[in-house]
Chain A
Amino acid sequence: MKYNKIIKVLFIVLITGISGSQEIKDLRSTADVDSLFSSLKGKTFMLNFWATWCPPCKKEMPDLIKLYKNYKDKGFELILVSVDDKTDKNGALKDFLTSQGIDFVTYYDALKKQEDILTHIDNNWAGEIPKTYIYDSEGKRVKALTGIQSYQTFENEIKKVLKTEE
């Protein structure tokens, strides 16, 4: 009986270790956004703004995860930023991330005003989501995609950037 418990605990530790952990980091200021960008220098990355209240955002999520899994070994990062309500952060948001099997760090827009992150990321962005930006390894924004996209579109855009950086 005792051994069974130990085995169970070991199994859970092992699984958690293999699959990584689901962590939601708060972006509390534009400085947090800047330091996130700095940490991504040298990598091609996709910045996707989404929310659990947004059906097209949830629909394209499996494609984004598939893209990340297929290209993470080629220096590609996926940065998911949720703009959910505070009241959904510990419920609907976590539940959705779990349901998608997300085992990497994602982000939450905890800036006080909605316009802060909108203006800081792209002054021409009206706030519609899903909104996806692609940045090259120099941290330069090379593409903005509005609305739901197919896996093919995401992949084509990422391939273009990775190819120019070869």
Chain B
Amino acid sequence: MFKMKFFAAIAVTMFLLSINIMAKEPGDKAEDFTMTASDGNSYNLSTELSSGKTVVVIFWSTKCPFVQAYNERAAEIYNQYHDKSVTIWPVNSNSTENMEEIMAHASKNGYAFPVLKDTDNKIADMFGALRTPEVFVIGKENVILYHGRIDDSKDAAEVTSHDLKNALNEILAGKEVSVKTTKSFGCTIKKAGQDN
């Protein structure tokens, strides 16, 4: 009896650990969330999706140099898509970056979009996100349509594949996303209680 309980406990622990480290992938559903943002408002995923919008969540940072290389490109993507029923939500899950810093950074870079604060990295954990920048595109019924990078080079001059834009163009054209997952380098998400 003791042995059974012991092995059951190990199984449950391993299952919980696997939840924590497994990233959600295209086809999976994002759980609903609400976050407060740099503009003082609260934003809810289901509400945004119910108006027919496609939501782009990009795990973001005020400090990560890899993310800073994308400041202009994020603005460009926002300008290109925000009036086409696409919502751009950079999400800051870093325990090392508070709302004041997020607001100052957004203002300094002239963001026309809010940056959402993921307190205690609950949303990063829900998605299984580990990196900044890391993109999840969410469509109807909370289904994830794309997971990966913005494009294929930190150096804007070296970009050969505009992966996020390609995915959005296909979604807006009513097509299935042809490249649903991509990979890139980036910074670690600084999770609460971890010194990394």
Seen from chain A, the residues whose Cβ lies within 8 Å of a Cβ on chain B are 49, 51, 53-56, 83, 85-87, 113-115, 118-119, 124, 126-130, 146-149
Contact = CB atoms under 8 A, between A and B. Distances in A.
Contact of A53 (B66, B130, B134, B195): B66
Interface of B: 21, 23, 63, 65-66, 69, 129-131, 134, 149, 152-155, 158, 182-190, 194-196
Contacts of B158: 85-86
B65 A127 contact: no
A115 to B, nearest CB: 4
B154 A128 contact: no
B183 A128 contact: no
Contacts of B149: 114, 127
B188 A53 contact: no
B48 to A, nearest CB: 25
Contact of A127 (B155, B184, B194): B184
Contacts of A49: 185
Nearest to A88: B155
A129 B66 CA distance: 11
A54 B183 CA distance: 18
Given A53-B65, A148-B195, A148-B196, 15 more contacts: A49-B185, A53-B69, A54-B66, A56-B196, A85-B154, A85-B158, A115-B182, A115-B184, A118-B183, A128-B131, A128-B185, A129-B185, A129-B187, A129-B188, A147-B195
Contacts of A55: 63, 65
Contacts of B190: 147
Contacts of B134: 126
B134 to A, nearest CB: 7
A140 B181 CA distance: 27
Contacts of B65: 53-55
For the complex, would chain B's binding face be called helix, strand, loop or mixed by DSSP majority? loop
Contacts, number: 72
A147 B189 CA distance: 9
B66 A126 contact: no
Contacts of A149: 196
Given A114-B152, A126-B130, A126-B131, A147 B186 contact: no
A149 to B, nearest CB: 8
A128 B23 CA distance: 13
B182 A128 contact: no
Contact of B196 (A87, A115, A146): A146
A139 B26 CA distance: 33
Contacts of B21: 124
11 contacts: A53-B65, A54-B187, A56-B187, A114-B149, A115-B183, A118-B183, A119-B183, A126-B129, A128-B185, A129-B185, A147-B188
Nearest to B147: A126
A114 B188 contact: no
A126 B23 contact: yes
Contact of B130 (A113, A114, A119, A128): A128
Nearest to A113: B152
Which of B129, B149, B184, B185 has its CB near the most chain A CB atoms (within 10 A)? B185
A24 B153 CA distance: 21
B186 to A, nearest CB: 6
